[in-house]
Chains A and B, each alone.
Chain A
Amino acid sequence: MDASESEQYEAAIHGDREAFEMIIRTHSRTLFAIAYGVLQNREEAEDVVQDSLVKAWKTRWRVRDAEKFLAWLATITRHRAHDIFRKRRAVSLSNETIEATESHTADTTAIDQQLHSALAALPELHRTALTLRYFEEMDYRTIENTLGLTNGALRGILGRALASMRKQLRPALASMD
């Protein structure tokens, strides 16, 4: 993290709205990726990012260490996404999800459907890591920072995530070749 970025966070914590808006510009896609990793739904993910930003602004003075501002934002987003996820499951497992998947199936191929179910089967951390990687093409280091992982842990996570996806999609893959 370079100095100017750190200063930006500091300013945002102290109520500099412009700095905070700058952070929104640069990092909202990352937050989106995290929310999407949990929810796998674009609209919901967008709402989650929006809510998280508002909450972050309101509670920004709680952050003591400006260096950890981004990780803190990520945590807020993930928690918010979890809340939504739980609510969704509580409301109705059958209705919405299936409807949503059905609406997907209408205009997507079979492999897409398989991919989605395979993604849904992944542990949440793995899925988030994957979304961050494939949405934002972030390098491992940044992803680790954002998710609060230790050095080198991401390699194993992404390796395992890819492997399990591969195994689940093996028949489809074979057909593709």
Chain B
Amino acid sequence: MATIHDEIDTWLAADLHGELSNKERSALHAHLVDCAACRKTHHETKTMNKILEETFAQEKPDPAFEQRMLAGFRNRIPQRSGLVKVLVDLMRLRATQIAAVAAALLGLVQIGRMITGEPVTAPRAPERYAQIEVGPPQAPESRPSQAGALERSGGISAGRPQDLALQPPAPPAAARSQFQKESKVSATTAEPAKAAQSEAGDVAALELRNNAAVREEATQSPVESPAPALANRKLIRNATVELEIVSFDNAVQKITAFANGEHGYVATTDSEKQANGKLKGQIVVKVLPENLDRFLQEIRSLGELKNQALGTEDVTKAYFDTDSRLKNAHVMEQRLIDMLKTKTGKVSDLLQVEKELGRVREEIEKMQGELKYWDSQVQFATVTISLAEKDMEEPAAFLLKERAQLSLYTPDVEKIYNEAKSLASPKVQITNAQLNREYSGRVSAQLSMLIAPEESDAVIGRIKGFGRVENFQTQTQRIAQGGSGMSENARTKRDKMELNITISREEQEQAFQQTSLRIRTSSVDEKAKELRTLAEKQGGRVRSSTFSRDPDGREVANVSLRVPLKNYPALMQSLDSLGKVQNVSVQRQDRTEAQVDESNAPADISIQVYSQGNIVTEESGLLATLRRTLAQSAGAIMWSLRMIGVAIAFLAPWVIAIVGVIWLARRVIRARRKP
């Protein structure tokens, strides 16, 4: 660590400037006492400090310095007026700059969208409308929103003033105006206001829903508590209710109990049993009008409410009309009676009076009956309840319809056709039978029959035994009767089976597996004959056979065989005994869609038997390679020989010419010397 002595300058300066702690200062002074050199430095530094203080004191700015600075500043930066200043200050703020750049970018994007024709409205807008339109759930309450939608779409205000008048006036109107405003706003490009706008939309939706609730209450309240002013009016109230219930009888019992509880009675009941054992029916209940609403509430608990209608008929006027007419009629009656009592006038007049009296009385009775009827109607509200048990549509029974398709291959079509026809009996009815013979020798038959369900399996089994089944398909259809859907209890009945049979000759059948191979042998004809016997041993048949011999002594026999697939491996095995089997290729067609009796399915084998004769030998093996190599080298030698020949042919004329010239020249020279 550096000592005080080493850093005396620093220590002294700090001391003079009053920047030493007490501890440091005492340490410094202790050192100064000890060290003469440092004492000298101390002295010098003190003087230096003093000089500096004095000098700088002279150079210090005068007291008016600050004022000068301020005045200069104010001179050069004049005070701006309020708005400009605020604007300028705003523009200098980083946040404002960023916002401005963002706004400019957004503006560019919008312009770009307008140019490219992309939809400019906020993407959330349509969703919101959907939400609003779905929002109010019940039909009558959703009208204002529909009206709003109409107004939005075409400006055709749906004229439903009476509906609107029923509802609390102000809020829906406000909501609608909000709708319109919003649609206008979204039609223009108001990107920055998007958030606010969507909020407004949500609020509108909410308000609408609230209004719907309010309105529901409003429509229900007059029903629940008829106004006292209506008390002496003659109102006929009736209701129809449609309910789906679990048990009809149970429901009837309960309804009777409810009706009794509400001082009413069950007027009529009728019920009807469906084919599937479900009951449905109608009950007419009379209850006191003031209890009607409670009664309806109670009924709802019985099952699922399908439909409900409530109606009120005001017969006040008619009632009181009839009533006053009745009173008049009574007066009339009395007067007529009085007339009879006085018995003055002619008999014919009396008879007339009597007749009139009868008519008046009849009228009175009629009117009285009418009033009574109305009284009863007014006194009791009529509730018509239609009840239907759940799963009304359940089928009563199922019919199982089976349809089968059978393809048979047989060597003798006609025989099988006749045999199949002989199966006909009351329980097996042949609806269609057809035998086709063509000039080409193709024979096929078609049969359609209806078989009683209990016989079907046996008959199909027998027919299958007639030949080789190539294809058998059954199709079962379950048909519900007297309803639709599923039922646990419905019986299932089997219907007659429809069977279509196609019989074809075996030859026409396509082979299940096709194999082609070659056999190399020395004696072709003999081996071909052997092959035929082999095939017959394996239950196969020769379909075609050819033999040919060409001038080179090459003999070729083509034999085509057909064997059942089960015998195919054995036959292939036995072919080895005939000669060298080559080029075996197998092609197989798997018919997945049909049921195939694989073991009996036909397999075709085409065999080419040929003599070794002049047929080119194998191109492989050591000898062949050697031979090829030799042939190639011989070829190469021949080629080079030819090239040499070419070269000679190319050079020879020149050589001959030069030699000729030289020979001539010599002859000339020699001839000149001689003389």
Question: How far, in whole Å, are A140 and B15 apart by their CA atoms in the complex?
Answer: 12
Question: How far, in whole Å, are A169 and B52 apart by their CA atoms in the complex?
Answer: 11
Known: A53-B73, A54-B76. A173 touches B66 (CB 8 A): no
B85 part of interface (Cβ distance < 8 Å): yes
Known: A173-B48, A176-B47. A134 touches B53 (CB 8 A): yes
Known: A24-B73, A49-B69, A165-B52. A15 touches B85 (CB 8 A): yes
20 residue pairs of the A-B complex, CB under 8 angstroms, read: A21-B70, A25-B66, A42-B59, A46-B65, A49-B69, A50-B72, A50-B76, A53-B73, A134-B53, A135-B56, A155-B13, A159-B9, A160-B9, A163-B13, A166-B41, A166-B45, A169-B51, A173-B51, A176-B47, A176-B51
A66 part of interface (Cβ distance < 8 Å): no
Of A1-9, A28-36, A81-89, A94-102, the segment with at least 4 beta carbons within 8 Å of chain B is A28-36
Residues of A42-61 contacting chain B, CB below 8 A: 42, 46, 49-50, 53-54, 57-58, 61
Q: Give 7 closest A-B pairs by Cβ, nearest first.
A: A159-B10, A163-B9, A134-B56, A61-B92, A15-B89, A159-B9, A159-B13
Question: How far, in whole Å, are A173 and B94 apart by their CA atoms in the complex?
Answer: 57
B672 part of interface (Cβ distance < 8 Å): no
Question: How far, in whole Å, are A161 and B17 apart by their CA atoms in the complex?
Answer: 13
Q: Which of these, B14, B48, B56, B57, contacts A169 with CB under 8 Å?
A: B48
Number of B interface residues in the complex (CB < 8 A):
39
Residues of A141-166 contacting chain B, CB below 8 A: 155-156, 158-163, 165-166
Q: Which residues of A contact B (CB under 8 A)?
A: 14-15, 17, 21, 24-25, 28-29, 32, 36, 42, 46, 49-50, 53-54, 57-58, 61, 111-112, 115, 130-131, 133-135, 139-140, 155-156, 158-163, 165-166, 169-170, 173, 176-177
Question: How far, in whole Å, are A46 and B52 apart by their CA atoms in the complex?
Answer: 21
Question: How far, in whole Å, are A42 and B60 apart by their CA atoms in the complex?
Answer: 8
**Could you tell me if B65 and A29 are in contact, using CB atoms closer than 8 angstroms?**
yes
Q: Please, what's the 1-or-0 string for B1-29, where 1 marks a CB less than 8 Å from any CB in chain A? A: 00000010111111001010000000000
In the bound complex, residues from chain B placing their C-beta under 8 Å from that of A156 are: 10
Known: A36-B59, A46-B61. A159 touches B14 (CB 8 A): yes
B93 part of interface (Cβ distance < 8 Å): yes
**Could you tell me if B52 and A50 are in contact, using CB atoms closer than 8 angstroms?**
no
**Could you tell me if A155 and B19 are in contact, using CB atoms closer than 8 angstroms?**
yes
Q: Which of these, B9, B61, B73, B94, contacts A21 with CB under 8 Å?
A: B73
Residues of B63-122 contacting chain A, CB below 8 A: 65-66, 68-70, 72-73, 76-77, 79, 85, 89, 92-94
In the bound complex, residues from chain B placing their C-beta under 8 Å from that of A177 are: 47
Min CB distance A83 to B, Å, is 18
Q: A134-B57, A170-B44 are in contact. List 18 more A-B contacts (CB 8 A).
A: A14-B93, A15-B89, A15-B92, A29-B61, A50-B73, A50-B76, A53-B73, A57-B73, A61-B92, A111-B51, A112-B55, A140-B17, A155-B13, A155-B19, A158-B10, A159-B11, A169-B48, A173-B44
B49 part of interface (Cβ distance < 8 Å): yes
**Could you tell me if B59 and A139 are in contact, using CB atoms closer than 8 angstroms?**
no
Q: Which of these, B13, B66, B72, contacts A162 with CB under 8 Å?
A: B13
In the bound complex, residues from chain A placing their C-beta under 8 Å from that of B55 are: 112, 115, 134
Min CB distance A34 to B, Å, is 12
**Could you tell me if A130 and B9 are in contact, using CB atoms closer than 8 angstroms?**
no
**Could you tell me if A158 and B13 are in contact, using CB atoms closer than 8 angstroms?**
yes
Q: Using CB atoms, name the residue of chain B closest to A14.
A: B89
In the bound complex, residues from chain A placing their C-beta under 8 Å from that of B17 are: 133, 140, 158
In the bound complex, residues from chain B placing their C-beta under 8 Å from that of A131 are: 56
Min CB distance A101 to B, Å, is 14
Min CB distance B21 to A, Å, is 12
Question: How far, in whole Å, are A139 and B14 apart by their CA atoms in the complex?
Answer: 10
Known: A115-B55, A159-B9, A177-B47. A24 touches B19 (CB 8 A): no
Q: Which of these, B44, B49, B51, B60, contacts A115 with CB under 8 Å?
A: B51
In the bound complex, residues from chain A placing their C-beta under 8 Å from that of B92 are: 15, 61
Q: Please, what's the 1-or-0 string for B340-375, where 1 marks a CB less than 8 Å from any CB in chain A? A: 000000000000000000000000000000000000
**Could you tell me if A32 and B61 are in contact, using CB atoms closer than 8 angstroms?**
yes
In the bound complex, residues from chain A placing their C-beta under 8 Å from that of B89 are: 14-15
Q: Which of these, B61, B77, B85, contacts A54 with CB under 8 Å?
A: B77
Question: How far, in whole Å, are A139 and B52 apart by their CA atoms in the complex?
Answer: 16
Question: How far, in whole Å, are A160 and B45 apart by their CA atoms in the complex?
Answer: 11
In the bound complex, residues from chain A placing their C-beta under 8 Å from that of B44 are: 166, 170, 173
Question: How far, in whole Å, are A50 and B77 apart by their CA atoms in the complex?
Answer: 11
**Which of B7, B19, B85 counts the most chain A CB atoms within 10 A?**
B19
Question: How far, in whole Å, are A119 and B149 apart by their CA atoms in the complex?
Answer: 89
Min CB distance A46 to B, Å, is 7
Min CB distance A55 to B, Å, is 10
In the bound complex, residues from chain B placing their C-beta under 8 Å from that of A42 are: 59, 61
In the bound complex, residues from chain B placing their C-beta under 8 Å from that of A133 are: 17
Question: How far, in whole Å, are A81 and B51 apart by their CA atoms in the complex?
Answer: 25
Q: Using CB atoms, name the residue of chain A closest to B71.
A: A50
Question: How far, in whole Å, are A54 and B74 apart by their CA atoms in the complex?
Answer: 9
Q: Using CB atoms, name the residue of chain A closest to B85.
A: A15
